[in-house]
């Protein structure tokens, strides 16, 4: 049983999020998502449209996702990797190199970001449409 973990805000879910979740799940059998809490988003300087509970409800409905845990801070990853017996830690390529130190505890894999889509682009397109 290979457990995989990834982290993120996953606001305004889009195909880029689905691609990373699918790619992560394809590396193993069980995918855990560390979902940024609203408070941690404040720390990250992100304001999500959906609340943590709404984002969790959406993520939990995705067939690739087996478990959602709260991501409360930058420091919890090692503890999560140990707690959940993680085989591979996955992030998109915008994070490449940032989490290489986790390779003492598990495999670290960065997948290419899906080009041309992001929550920021979606928000801007909606804003421009409404005008």
Name the residues that contact ligand C2G, by CB under 6 A: 7-10, 16-17, 19-20, 36, 44, 46, 71, 91-92, 94, 113-114, 117-118
Whether residue 46 contacts residue 36, with contact meaning beta carbons closer than 8 Å, is answered with yes
Strand pairing partners for 91?
110
Whether 125 is catalytic: no
Minimum CB distance to ligand C2G, residue 131 (Å): 24
**Based on CB atoms, which residue is closest to ligand C2G, 78 or 117?**
117
Whether residue 30 contacts residue 2, with contact meaning beta carbons closer than 8 Å, is answered with yes
Question: Residue with CB nearest ligand C2G?
Answer: 92
CA dihedral 52, 31, 61, 26 (to 10 degrees): 130
Local structure of 72: helix, strand or coil: coil
Which of these is catalytic: 44, 47, 98, 124? Answer: 44
Active site residues: 44, 46
């Amino acid at each position: 049983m290979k457990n995989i973990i990834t982290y993120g805000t996953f606001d305004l879910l889009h195909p880029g999020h689905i691609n990373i979740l699918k790619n992560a799940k394809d590396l193993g059998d069980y995918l855990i998502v560390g979902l940024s809490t609203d408070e941690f988003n404040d720390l990250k300087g992100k304001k999500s449209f959906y609340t943590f509970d709404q984002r969790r409800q959406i993520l939990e409905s995705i067939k690739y996702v087996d478990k959602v845990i709260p991501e409360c801070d930058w420091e919890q990853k090692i503890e999560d990797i140990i707690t959940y017996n993680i085989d591979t830690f996955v992030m998109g390529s915008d994070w490449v190199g940032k989490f290489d130190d986790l390779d003492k505890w598990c495999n670290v894999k960065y997948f290419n970001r899906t080009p041309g889509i992001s929550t920021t682009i979606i928000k801007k397109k909606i804003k421009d449409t409404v005008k």
